[in-house]
Structure 1
Amino acid sequence: MEHEDEPVYGLPEVPPAGEHVIWQGSPDWKALAIRAFHVRKLVVYFALMLVLRATVTLADGGTALQALRDVALLMPLPLTGWRWCWRWLRLSARSTVYTLTNRRVVMRIGIVLTLSFNLPFRCIAAADMARAAARHRRHRAGLAGQDRIAYLQLWPHARPWHLRKPQPMLRCVPEPDAVAQLLAAQWSQLNGMAAPAGAAAAQPPAASPLPETALAAH
């Protein structure tokens, strides 16, 4: 059984006195496939590669049968790539656990080497919730921390394209609005500052801030 040595599921140690878990979740693997692993783009890429192979054969004077034979010879390459991508995707979603306590956010990530990142609320500078198209609007929530973590250590649990200052991300979680409200409430309670009213409300745009004002870093 994976992670059987964890004293508490999703946590590297037993929480200290006064700390308790209020939410736990993992990425939706179907949404993760689209948003992080870009499986649709991979399908298009491999399809174009096969079409190009057939086109080149025909352009060189080959018959349709020869074009089909060349495509068949090339087929193991995209199938192998797709298989490894799919396996990595499923393992990534299955091994990831996001935990929200009354004091911090904990991200347990990693397939071969398990890493746990502790993000105390006192060190969190800002939090944002982003949505893609309406059909995926449930699936993504992110948070930015003060301390820097290497982008490659975080991926795919990192905000895309923020390479110089990587931002941890609770990616493709179900019911992100409820998680956002819990995060805002716990941050406000611990830091003694009120989050803006309606900050975590669901909005239809492609990207919208969780708190309307930045949460000051300590």
Structure 2
Amino acid sequence: MPHDDFAFEPVKGLPEEPPKGEEILWQGRPDWWALALESLSLKWVMGYFVFLAAWRLVAALDLMPLSQAVAISTPFIVMGLIVCALLALIAWVQARATVYTITNRRVAMRVGAALTVTLNLPYTQIANAHLDLRRRGTGTIALELLGDTRFSYLVLWPHVRPWHLKTPEPALRCIPDAERIARLLAEAAEARVAQPQITRAAPPAPRPAARPEPTGAAAPVPAE
């Protein structure tokens, strides 16, 4: 029977039931192929092995016939295919284990295949959102945080804005229809931040009781 590793979640992608008044606007996960290309640099890795094979082929042509030169350069192509297949598998597993959630109050990110982490990012803690749109319609929405809120780049990777090591920014990586999702997030954040935040004030401390004045007849003054 199939087993769901996240069956303990009361709501998909969230560690607990949303509080009263919170509404889920969108949920999604990365496009695994776009994640492999952008986050794991699949094209660059394959290009590296193709370069090694071509370099070996050209170097061997002066020493042996073409058939032998091709034979000794082919293992580089085979190794490249194996490495790229492993990277594609990693991207698929990462995308499978990820759930991004946008509500009318926050952005939640359940990320991590081996070590699962759930981030809750209220709109009041988000300073800005940056959209990196790609040709196929996929894109990355990076969230710039306010204050001293910091996360580990390694723990968040690949769900983090690339190359921002000093101040890591959580990111919704390689999501389909990214432009529409970015507009949805912006509208929800603007509506939430515009709402007045009502907090209950602490009751005032009780005043000390006044000491009663002494009553009765005044003490007689002794005669001189």
Q: Could you say which TM-score interval applies, normalised by the shorter chain?
A: 0.7 to 0.9
- Distance in 1 (alpha carbons) for counterparts of 2:112 and 2:102: 18
Residue 28 of structure 1: aligned partner? 31
* Consecutive unaligned residues in structure 1, runs of 5 or more: 194-218
Does residue 1:10 correspond to 2:13, yes or no? yes
Residue 106 of structure 1: aligned partner? 108
Residue 144 of structure 1: aligned partner? 144
Amino acid of the structure 2 residue aligned with 1:140: T
Look up the SS of the partner of 1:140 in the other structure. strand
1:141: how far off? Answer: 2.3
Amino acid of the structure 2 residue aligned with 1:12: P
Q: Percent identity?
A: 38
- Distance in 2 (alpha carbons) for counterparts of 1:149 and 1:12: 19
Residue 170 of structure 1: aligned partner? 172
Evaluate the alpha carbon distance shift between residue 69 and residue 138 of structure 1 in structure 2; reply closer, same or farther with a 3 A threshold: closer
Amino acid of the structure 2 residue aligned with 1:20: E
* Consecutive unaligned residues in structure 2, runs of 5 or more: 196-224
Residue 22 of structure 2: aligned partner? 19
1:75: how far off? Answer: 4.2
Evaluate the alpha carbon distance shift between residue 142 and residue 136 of structure 1 in structure 2; reply closer, same or farther with a 3 A threshold: farther
Equivalent residue in structure 1 for 2:123, among 121, 124, 148: 121
Residue 187 of structure 1: aligned partner? 189
- Distance in 2 (alpha carbons) for counterparts of 1:74 and 1:31: 25
Q: What is the 5 A alignment of 1:63-78?
A: 63-78=65-80
Amino acid of the structure 1 residue aligned with 2:144: A
1:137: how far off? Answer: 4.1
- Distance in 2 (alpha carbons) for counterparts of 1:69 and 1:130: 42
Q: Give the number of the structure with larger relative contact order, counting CA–CA contacts within 8 Å between residues 6 or more apart.
A: 1
CA RMSD in angstroms comes to 1.8
- Distance in 2 (alpha carbons) for counterparts of 1:174 and 1:69: 41
Amino acid of the structure 1 residue aligned with 2:35: L
Q: Paired residues, what number?
A: 190
Equivalent residue in structure 2 for 1:44, among 36, 42, 47: 47
Matched-pair contact (CA < 8 Å) for 1:28–1:139: no
Deviations 1:16-49 (A, max 9, x none): 2222211101111222222222222222111111
Residue 208 of structure 1: aligned partner? none
Residue 219 of structure 2: aligned partner? none
1:167: how far off? Answer: 0.7
Amino acid of the structure 2 residue aligned with 1:153: V
What TM-score, normalized to structure 1?
0.79
